[in-house]
Chains A and B, each alone.
Chain A
Amino acid sequence: SYELTQPPSVSVSPGQTASITCSGDKLGDKYVCWYQQRPGQSPVVVLYEDNKRPSGIPERFSGSNSGNTATLTISGTQAMDEADYYCQTWDSGTAVFGGGTKLTVL
């Protein structure tokens, strides 16, 4: 079965740029979306189609996807961005989630 791999944790200082990676076999041939889950809350999509932001998602969220790796980038990270982030794609009609990355804003 298809697998997506994310680092368990990423730390960033306020105002700096955070990058969260998501790896999978030929992932660049698929579309990837990213979800943010703050503690005690339901997930919210922050990017779809690799790099498109839904309405209401700040411009500091951006994404890329090429080769075997998709990347979520948060520019000018704020304290409110501290959350778990999950990448997700589809493979053979099955939705696949990455294991999640805890973003800590120190």
Chain B
Amino acid sequence: EVRLVESGGGLVQPGGSLRLSCAASGFIYRSFWMTWVRQAPGKGLEWVASIKGDGSEKYYGDSVKGRFTISRDNAKNSLYLQMNSLRVEDTAVFYCTRDRMVYATGDRWFDPWGQGSPVTVSS
């Protein structure tokens, strides 16, 4: 069974930092792109960042570029999100997801999703 389990969320003051982790199991982790998606309270889904299986490519959403860093440790089957200079508007549940791809067509989607890790930025 494919499992993604996030941890590391919590309450942090504006300007502070937090590191989220995602433990993956049940699949060949190094072979998959991985992604973080967030959801602010009562709002929709927002793509945060994605990383290639070998870590050689990383992409970020405009709202987090320069402040957040996605990384992975394939030896530990783990995904990370280092969040610096946090703002009140970063308050959200952060989901870890695995990218699924059809290389022949270029289609790509997220499956499965972890249970989410809540992050609250408040003074």
In the complex, what distance in Å separates the CA atom of A54 from the CA atom of B110? 12
Q: Is the interface of A mostly helix, strand, loop or mixed?
A: strand
B10 adjacent to chain A (CB < 8 Å)? no
In the complex, what distance in Å separates the CA atom of A95 from the CA atom of B46? 8
In the complex, what distance in Å separates the CA atom of A83 from the CA atom of B36? 22
- Whether A43 contacts B95 by the Cβ 8 Å rule is yes
B71 adjacent to chain A (CB < 8 Å)? no
- Whether B107 contacts A49 by the Cβ 8 Å rule is yes
* CB proximity to A under 8 Å, residues B85-111: 95, 100, 102, 105-111
Given the known inter-chain contacts A94-B61, A97-B45, please indicate yes or no for A42 contacting B114, CB distance below 8 A: yes
Q: Which of B50, B100, B113 interacts with A43 by CB under 8 Å?
A: B113
Query: Across the interface, which residues of B come within 8 angstroms of A90, CB to CB?
Result: 108
Count A-B contacts at CB 8 Å: 61
* CB proximity to B under 8 Å, residues A91-106: 93-100
Size of the chain A interface, CB-CB below 8 angstroms:
23
B115 adjacent to chain A (CB < 8 Å)? yes
- Whether A31 contacts B107 by the Cβ 8 Å rule is yes
In the complex, what distance in Å separates the CA atom of A37 from the CA atom of B95? 13
- Whether A42 contacts B113 by the Cβ 8 Å rule is yes
23 chain-A/chain-B pairs, Cβ below 8 angstroms = A31-B105, A31-B106, A33-B109, A35-B45, A37-B45, A42-B115, A42-B116, A44-B111, A44-B113, A45-B109, A45-B111, A48-B100, A48-B107, A48-B111, A49-B107, A86-B44, A86-B45, A93-B59, A95-B47, A95-B50, A95-B110, A97-B44, A97-B46
